[in-house]
Chain A
């Protein structure tokens, strides 16, 4: 089975604020939305960023972010170089989990550390209805953001694509090593959840093998607002560098054995162990000689990564794991939250505690005050941790930490 992804240039972007506002107006938990476009080089800082989504639409009329049926079949159009960015300052209320600050800079040193500094960002600053509750507000924001992403891709239906990529895995080539992608999706509770076909990762029957094209085609969407740099917004799933690279290398340096989606933040020691072993079994069933294990967010999701690494190695599947470091940049102490001796091949995607130099934006979108109370215009150096996706553990960027 094959899936085609047709790319269209960002010049097709037309933002009709009234249509976006109409989508928000249909949501009882939302009081409105401000719509702005922030382009590379403009002296703009975007704050309170929750998610970023690439505009997508299917010419056959099926939804771009399906909650039923199957993604990764037929053709999907994408508006390349554009991100729909949802921003919200959740009302203060008693709740178990709190969103962390998320920043995108369009100029200055911060523009270099996230991919969004080089993209046209359609910024949706949502205004919640007081008392609606974080669950309803979050659901509404995600619904509208995905709908806007589909809306903005509509002009592609009348245009000629710049490029059409075909994703289809041919027969494995004998003699090449088989590599599986084991992709972790958070589910710690509301605001810390990745969704699989609209279902929280913890209720999606994970770990489970998927067609890798499903990940690239909108099957996984993000409602995970833990540390921004270690967050995997929807657009990283849509554009998974790992899955794309494995497709590209298939039949050349390796055989792409397949994709396993796993839950991060399994909630008990027994569940963590059981899920790790189940993921390893799936990798074996796919015939993998090796597996690349990605991580989502931080804290005990790193334990899930490490236990999965150990389970794979014990099952005879060799591993490389991708994790962010979190080391005090003035200290020589290690920055890993968890580790097993089997994790002898770790890709660094940077140290989230290292700072990005200060920069004074002329304009702030999303909210003037950062969550820590400092003014976004006058903030001094900001930890890499606060920049959206800067040390993401899917391997989307070229950042790494090295020893000084």
Chain B
């Protein structure tokens, strides 16, 4: 028997309606409210406790509410969290999804249930969301679906595709056989597009970055050097991958005005690095920038440079590197970046 914890809001916990919406997180023994119907549908899973929180409290104290609910959840040593169903309720749906995401992030299966257009769906992260009707009239259909998915997750077996298992697609991309060659599908899609119906099998998920305003006065600015050229100390001590890097590195430039070829190398696997290794300044132009600092044309140089391998890296991963590096630079008061690409 797997132990489950069920999350519901103040209303479904029987604590009251809007007047109880500011109730902080609390625990109730066993199954409560819709949890009783859910329990009846569950096989091999027992709802050990119900945890609840007022919708307004959650919205106004999200970090505290999630932390406290996680404590309550973890105290039960349960194998799965089930949240909702929240139907079309935005605040309740968000709380269900947010808590489920937090539990799933810690490696415990979590399933929330709500209407597919509930804004909470976007907050579910790695948790699964069972689609429901838009209002409580859909309770009777929702509970067996939640129970079925909870049972599948608790069994530890690998889940099948969304339409077979009854959850909303989470955005991960898995392979399958279409039964029609890619070349034939390309022809089908192109002919459809030419007749006015444009479809795609892959949506980009790319964001477009607006260029920032120009640096007002470079001669007083703190400038940093950033590169995706895979420039690292000789011997690559931190083992930066030559391709598909999973992170970025920062190396001190303190006391240096140039990058000596016997101290630095390029480990990028996507271009011929022979010339770059003859003079690493061509990847990270420390020599030129140092001269410009000396001439007063650049204010100061940040005392470290940032490096990764930009080679076959999905754009979403690159975007994360950029955000992390930018955060570091902002904290250091960097006002301008010279980004050398390859």
Residues of A within 8 A of B (CB): 96-98, 112-113, 177, 179, 188-189, 227, 240-242, 244-246, 249, 253-254, 267, 289-292, 298-300, 318-320, 322-323, 325-339, 343-351, 354, 384, 391, 393-404
18 A-B pairs whose Cβ atoms sit less than 8 Å apart in the complex: A291-B190, A325-B202, A330-B126, A335-B314, A337-B314, A345-B200, A346-B200, A348-B182, A350-B175, A354-B175, A395-B183, A398-B179, A398-B181, A400-B176, A400-B178, A403-B170, A403-B172, A404-B159
C-beta contact mask, B249-283 vs A, less than 8 Å → 1, else 0?
00000000000000000000111111000000000
Assembly CA distance A395 to B189 (angstroms): 13
Contacts of B175 in A (CB 8 A): 113, 350-351, 354, 384, 391, 399-401
B216 in the interface, Cβ–Cβ < 8 Å?
no
B333 in the interface, Cβ–Cβ < 8 Å?
no
8 Å CB contacts to A: which residues of B162-185?
Answer: 162, 169-185
B186 in the interface, Cβ–Cβ < 8 Å?
yes
Contacts of A398 in B (CB 8 A): 177-182
Q: A253-B187, A299-B243, A322-B182 are in contact. List 18 more A-B contacts (CB 8 A).
A: A188-B270, A244-B183, A299-B270, A320-B189, A329-B174, A330-B172, A333-B320, A335-B316, A339-B315, A344-B198, A345-B190, A348-B182, A351-B175, A394-B182, A395-B181, A395-B183, A400-B175, A403-B172
Given contacts A242-B183, A339-B204, A400-B176, contact A319 B190 (CB under 8 A): yes
Given contacts A347-B182, A395-B186, A400-B201, contact A177 B311 (CB under 8 A): no
Contacts of B244 in A (CB 8 A): 326
Q: Which of A97, A290, A346 contacts B194 (CB 8 A)?
A: A290
A292 & B270 in contact (Cβ 8 Å cutoff):
no
B330 in the interface, Cβ–Cβ < 8 Å?
no
Contacts of B311 in A (CB 8 A): 299
Contacts of A397 in B (CB 8 A): 181-182
Q: How large, as a class, is the contact surface on chain B? A: 35 or more
A348 & B201 in contact (Cβ 8 Å cutoff):
yes
A177 & B194 in contact (Cβ 8 Å cutoff):
yes
B294 in the interface, Cβ–Cβ < 8 Å?
no
B162 & A404 in contact (Cβ 8 Å cutoff):
yes
A292 & B186 in contact (Cβ 8 Å cutoff):
yes
A249 & B315 in contact (Cβ 8 Å cutoff):
no
Assembly CA distance A325 to B199 (angstroms): 17
B183 & A394 in contact (Cβ 8 Å cutoff):
yes
Given contacts A318-B193, A395-B182, A403-B169, contact A334 B198 (CB under 8 A): no
B182 & A179 in contact (Cβ 8 Å cutoff):
no
B317 in the interface, Cβ–Cβ < 8 Å?
yes
In the complex, the 6 A-B pairs of residues with the closest C-beta atoms, listed nearest first: A395-B183, A395-B182, A332-B171, A334-B205, A333-B316, A242-B183
C-beta contact mask, B17-42 vs A, less than 8 Å → 1, else 0?
00000000000000000000000000
C-beta contact mask, B95-133 vs A, less than 8 Å → 1, else 0?
000000000000000000000000000000010000000
B323 in the interface, Cβ–Cβ < 8 Å?
no
Assembly CA distance A267 to B182 (angstroms): 28
Give the secondary structure class of A's interface.
Answer: loop
**Shortest Cβ distance from A241 into B: residue:** B183
Assembly CA distance A289 to B243 (angstroms): 37
B193 & A345 in contact (Cβ 8 Å cutoff):
yes
Q: Which of A227, A241, A350, A401 contacts B184 (CB 8 A)?
A: A241
B187 & A254 in contact (Cβ 8 Å cutoff):
yes
A404 & B200 in contact (Cβ 8 Å cutoff):
no
Q: How far is the CB of A240 from chain B (nearest CB, A)?
A: 8
Contacts of A323 in B (CB 8 A): 202
B272 & A189 in contact (Cβ 8 Å cutoff):
yes
**Shortest Cβ distance from B183 into A: residue:** A395
B136 in the interface, Cβ–Cβ < 8 Å?
no
Contacts of A290 in B (CB 8 A): 190-191, 193-194
B185 & A395 in contact (Cβ 8 Å cutoff):
yes
Contacts of B181 in A (CB 8 A): 241, 245, 395-398
Q: Which of B174, B185, B271 contacts A354 (CB 8 A)?
A: B174
| Residue of A241, A334, A346 most packed against chain B (CB within 10 A) | A334
Assembly CA distance A112 to B175 (angstroms): 12
B313 in the interface, Cβ–Cβ < 8 Å?
yes
B161 in the interface, Cβ–Cβ < 8 Å?
yes
**Shortest Cβ distance from B319 into A: residue:** A333
Q: Which of A227, A333, A336 contacts B202 (CB 8 A)?
A: A336
B296 in the interface, Cβ–Cβ < 8 Å?
no
Q: How far is the CB of B33 from chain A (nearest CB, A)?
A: 31
Contacts of B243 in A (CB 8 A): 299
B312 in the interface, Cβ–Cβ < 8 Å?
yes
Assembly CA distance A327 to B171 (angstroms): 10
B315 & A320 in contact (Cβ 8 Å cutoff):
no
Contacts of B271 in A (CB 8 A): 96, 188, 267
Assembly CA distance A392 to B207 (angstroms): 26
Contacts of B313 in A (CB 8 A): 337
Contacts of B180 in A (CB 8 A): 398
Assembly CA distance A403 to B172 (angstroms): 5
Q: Which of A244, A336, A347 contacts B189 (CB 8 A)?
A: A347
Contacts of A334 in B (CB 8 A): 203-206, 314-316
B272 & A333 in contact (Cβ 8 Å cutoff):
no
Q: How far is the CB of A334 from chain B (nearest CB, A)?
A: 3
Q: How far is the CB of A377 from chain B (nearest CB, A)?
A: 24
Assembly CA distance A209 to B259 (angstroms): 46
Assembly CA distance A395 to B190 (angstroms): 14
Assembly CA distance A320 to B198 (angstroms): 10
A299 & B312 in contact (Cβ 8 Å cutoff):
yes
Contacts of A333 in B (CB 8 A): 205, 314, 316-317, 320
Assembly CA distance A113 to B205 (angstroms): 27
B273 & A96 in contact (Cβ 8 Å cutoff):
yes
A245 & B183 in contact (Cβ 8 Å cutoff):
yes
**Shortest Cβ distance from A100 into B: residue:** B243
**Shortest Cβ distance from A297 into B: residue:** B312
Given contacts A329-B174, A403-B171, A404-B170, contact A338 B315 (CB under 8 A): yes
